[in-house]
Amino acid sequence: MIRLKNITKIYDGNVHALNNINLTFKEGELVILKGMSGSGKSTILSLIAGLSKPTEGEVFVDSKKISKLPDHFAATYRRDNIGIVFQKYNLIPTLSVKENVLLPLFPLNLPRELMDQKAAAVLGKFHIEQKIDMMVKNLSGGEQQRVAIARANINDPKIILADEPTANLDEKLSLEFIEMLRDLKSKKRTIVVATHDPLFFDLDFVDTIVNIEHGNLL
């Protein structure tokens, strides 16, 4: 369960990104955060990921209060629980597909063989294993998106956060991405997608659509 309790986020002392919002997402839910650019969607994702801290209020994941975790513990929490697909994928263009998907695991110092197995498994799952040794900069947009979602799943996270995941995709690839979400949801992942892409608004497997405007829930 994810719970945002009385969350206010103010950047730089005067940018009110979120105003006293309360949200609860159940395990296994697919939630769409819907709102215009600048409405506060990414801020909600970064609070759930423990990448930033609220100005006021608390964020709970299961019973853990993650809004108070020191940075080091927040990084561990993220590695163990969260997969993130960023708007522009945040892949490293000059590294290979395999190196990119393994990035979140490097701090664990796992044996090379195990890392290779994990990379092959997750790339297979998202049908991009044939590009495993290619440099990411030479992939198409759709292929990069597959690598991004594969990387978000390398640690088998129970929560997947996606920030405008279809912003750089055409409709066909966006629909493919949505099918990947359907599959993840069937595996009981909790998924939170920040988007203003209308393709997400009529899906039969979305549980909740949260409308946000200027940091307020509508």
Binding site for ligand ATP (CB under 6 A): 11-12, 15, 17, 35, 37-43, 164, 194
Least separation in angstroms between residue 5's CB and ligand ATP is 18
Nearer to ligand ATP, 11 or 205 (CB): 11
Nearer to ligand ATP, 17 or 66 (CB): 17
Least separation in angstroms between residue 170's CB and ligand ATP is 19
Least separation in angstroms between residue 155's CB and ligand ATP is 24
Residue 190 near residue 158 (C-beta atoms within 8 A):
yes
Least separation in angstroms between residue 191's CB and ligand ATP is 17
Edge-to-edge strand ranges of the sheet holding 216-217:
82-85, 159-163, 190-195, 30-34, 208-213, 216-217
CA-based R_g, the chain, Å: 17
Least separation in angstroms between residue 36's CB and ligand ATP is 7
Going 109 to 82 to 47 to 201, the CA torsion angle's sign is: positive
CA 123 to chain centre: 17
Q: What are phi and psi of 59, to 5 degrees?
A: -115, 125
Question: What is the Cα–Cα distance from 104 to 79, expressed in whole angstroms?
Answer: 7
Going 168 to 173 to 174 to 178, the CA torsion angle's sign is: negative
Nearer to ligand ATP, 114 or 218 (CB): 218
Nearer to ligand ATP, 129 or 216 (CB): 216
Q: Which token pair is 187?
A: 């595996």
Task: Report the candidate in 209, 149, 155 with the shortest Cα–Cα distance to residue 184.
Answer: 149
Nearer to ligand ATP, 136 or 212 (CB): 212
Least separation in angstroms between residue 13's CB and ligand ATP is 10
Q: How far is CA 109 from CA 71, 80, 119, in A?
A: 20, 14, 15
Rounded to 10°, the helix 112-125/141-152 angle is 120
Nearer to ligand ATP, 37 or 109 (CB): 37
